[in-house]
A and B are shown apart, each in its own frame.
Chain A
């Protein structure tokens, strides 16, 4: 017993302490989302009364177009996830497998570009899209399509870089065998590479999806109208510093948004973590 204590007690103390720290804000959000008064005030750690009022508000109240926000976010983030990986995969394949002049320079440029945090060029993107607005309002500042294009560009560098890393790890013998059998690069790409890389493509898509969902400032600058906002901007503006008033529905909204992401993340954590240690950092 003494030995067990000496060996394991500190481990449990550390793990329990950090678990408490990790859970505390999450637990707090859950109980305040069920609190009928919607107050942020922590009256007790065990809810005395459970009510789904805050969740109802989210779906019924015309002041909170929550479903519209969620739909906007899903459409934008979904489109970014699919299109950027679709486009990025072909570039990654070319960088990794095809031999051509300027390949090395290309890889070096890509390396530099993917290091550049998109937010640094915020003012430039803003000014450019403001000008685009003048001749194509549906693509410029204020439009979701414009925001989508900016996101796609921003995701491209990192995605190509990540995917290139994965492609490099697929044995080249497979391509060479295909080449000997007379396959063109296009055939190698569609018939060998895509099926092999499918799980990786899914993980990179997922990372882009979460990254886009978490993006705040571009969406804030781009989408001014209430109904075109993403859920991140919508909820942030909705509480708008007035934590006492709108906390309940906000808590409910953030829980509904987080649950699917947490579930997907936990179920795919093995792949995601290996991708992360390969050099990326989740945003």
Chain B
């Protein structure tokens, strides 16, 4: 056993492990660097350095214990938190998802138009005798034949060419056809603009068709603007991640651009965002409060009922904590099935035909009922524990002084109980505030008016609403979603810290 942490064998094992870990991380750092992910690359590099420094020297003993945990916490908790905050200050959504450099390239690529006649040619891809990528274009109708590269166009006469049955040229002097097997997997030739005339070029549209286009948008790097070559319109960086002209017409796509607090401002000023946000926020609070109150109420009632030796108490206890022991995910899905309109057991028993999840109030009642089912065993357990922690002298003394059972409960037991349990009640509130699984798997946040473009549903809580904004609708608005996440975090952190302070107060009492 001693060998594990002292002696030569331990040293060898340590060095081997360190070397392997360093090698893997360095390899990753290098490939991250190659993909221009500098932040990730730097993080990996620092991790390697820190690892070797901490484990090869004896400078810091605590860090030998900390380092693995710290690396994980940083990479998968702190970094995403920081990233969330950063994203919340960006215009970061569908249409503004890529970097500015990529966006400029895309705008240039999209800023073309076909010529008026919509001219197309039959083409064959190959190389000139100089080794340059080229196309051999044929217009069977005219007929017209030429070889075109990026920079020049050579017109040909049909007598120099081999034509196939349709009159399409297949070979030409100074032109070597590239075989189809060489073309597959190589996309370079499709990106080239083959010269057609002064302002027009041919772009490859399919396996053997080329169409005539001209560039309509030109990028001017010196002024960072786009110019429409046909009508002269200038498009400027509008500071929100798009190039826009004076009439606020924007060029697609845009890029993710820093817009500071605009996402937060939208929550206050933009009616389309503010309305649903406030509605969802109110329901979130109602949902969390009702869940805690009902679960605690029923849990406490049970704890009181079973707080004395009773026939079958053990059996009751085992049954009552079953909802808590079940994997909650499965229970939620089971409940969702039970509320099914056509086949669900609930309608079956009530002999009704209610579309539970299509009506806002029915859906909300269903959510509260299920969260009560999931939550009451926990409160039963902790209330039982708390009841046993209340000294019997207190209640007995009150009883001797002539207090009725009800008075003892309301004047002594309940206040003490609330004092003991308040941190847990607050923690439970914070947990339900973000109970994503319940909402998402039971009602999906619905009902919502999808045709009306509504993102927020009647049972959506803030966190599921955030998910809908980020992933659930046509426009994925990661910036706005992050802003709401940051707000939720401050709310939850505030609530939790308050709860923690309460429990601290309690500790000093004891």
Contacts and interface: CB of A to CB of B under 8 A. Distances in A.
A111 B479 CA distance: 27
A153 B77 contact: yes
Nearest to B315: A19
A239 interface: yes
Given A26-B323, A135-B34, A243-B337, 6 more contacts: A19-B316, A91-B69, A121-B84, A128-B79, A191-B1, A214-B437
Given A22-B322, A40-B343, A125 B305 contact: no
A112 B87 contact: no
Nearest to B424: A277
A55 interface: no
Contacts of B31: 135-136
A125 B327 contact: no
Interface stretch (B108-116, B204-212, B484-492): B484-492
B349 A152 contact: no
Contacts of A273: 381-382, 385
B325 A262 contact: yes
Contacts of B437: 214, 216-217, 283
Nearest to A103: B62
B323 A22 contact: yes
B40 interface: yes
Contacts of A53: none
A236 B441 contact: yes
Nearest to B339: A243
A99 to B, nearest CB: 8
A150 B77 CA distance: 8
A247 interface: yes
A113 B463 CA distance: 18
A124 B84 contact: yes
Given A124-B87, A262-B325, A41 B320 contact: no
Contacts of B467: 122, 217
Contacts of B424: 277, 279
Interface string B63-86: 011101110110111111101100
Interface in B304-335: 305-306, 308, 310, 312, 316, 318-331, 333-335
29 contacts: A11-B310, A14-B301, A15-B316, A21-B373, A22-B322, A22-B377, A40-B343, A87-B68, A91-B69, A103-B62, A115-B430, A116-B489, A117-B492, A118-B77, A120-B434, A123-B470, A123-B471, A124-B83, A132-B37, A134-B37, A153-B72, A160-B73, A191-B1, A213-B329, A217-B437, A235-B330, A235-B333, A236-B329, A283-B437
Contacts of B492: 115-117
A122 B28 contact: no
A157 B77 contact: yes
A93 B337 contact: no
Which of the listed residues A118, A156, A185, A244 has the most CB atoms from chain B within 10 Å of its own CB?
Answer: A156
Contacts of A15: 302, 305-306, 310, 312, 316, 320
Interface of A: 8, 10-12, 14-15, 18-19, 21-23, 25-26, 28-29, 39-42, 87-88, 90-91, 93-94, 98, 100, 103, 111-113, 115-128, 131-132, 134-136, 139, 149-150, 152-154, 156-157, 160, 184-187, 189-191, 210, 213-214, 216-217, 221, 232, 235-236, 239, 243-244, 247, 250-251, 254, 257-258, 261-262, 265-266, 269, 273, 276-277, 279, 281-283
Contacts of A152: 72, 76
A216 B444 CA distance: 13
A244 B301 contact: no
Nearest to A26: B322
B340 A40 contact: yes
B213 interface: no
Interface string B459-501: 0000100110011000000100110010011001100110010
A135 B76 contact: no
Nearest to A152: B72
B348 A42 contact: yes
B5 interface: yes
Nearest to A251: B334
B133 interface: no
B319 A113 contact: no
B337 A40 contact: yes
Contacts of A131: 35, 37, 40
B427 interface: yes
B262 interface: no
Given A18-B376, A98-B62, A121-B84, A156 B69 contact: yes
B13 interface: no
Interface of B: 1, 4-5, 28, 31-32, 34-35, 37, 40, 60-62, 64-66, 68-70, 72-73, 75-81, 83-84, 87, 298, 301-302, 305-306, 308, 310, 312, 316, 318-331, 333-338, 340, 342-345, 348-349, 373, 376-378, 381-382, 385, 423-424, 427-428, 430-431, 434, 436-437, 440-441, 463, 466-467, 470-471, 478, 481-482, 485, 488-489, 492-493, 496-497, 500, 503
Contacts of B340: 40, 243-244
A3 to B, nearest CB: 14
Nearest to B423: A279
Contact of A94 (B66, B305, B319): B66
A247 B64 CA distance: 51
Given A98-B65, A123-B470, A128-B80, A153 B345 contact: no
Nearest to B344: A40
A266 B463 CA distance: 31
B382 A277 contact: yes
A149 B77 CA distance: 11
A263 to B, nearest CB: 9
A239 B32 CA distance: 39
B433 to A, nearest CB: 9
A247 B337 contact: yes
Given A121-B83, A135-B31, A243-B337, A23 B319 contact: yes
Contact of A119 (B1, B60, B83, B434): B434
A127 B98 CA distance: 11
A87 B69 contact: yes
A93 B64 CA distance: 11
A11 B381 contact: no
A41 B351 CA distance: 12
A103 B328 CA distance: 37
Given A19-B316, A25-B373, A279-B427, A266 B321 contact: yes
Contact of B5 (A18, A160, A187): A187
B80 A124 contact: yes
B37 A90 contact: no
B323 A120 contact: no
Contacts of A149: 72, 75-76
A217 B373 CA distance: 22
B459 to A, nearest CB: 16
Given A210-B327, A232-B329, A42 B83 contact: no
A190 B4 contact: yes
Given A42-B345, A116-B489, A128-B79, A91 B463 contact: no
A279 B378 CA distance: 12
Contacts of A134: 35, 37
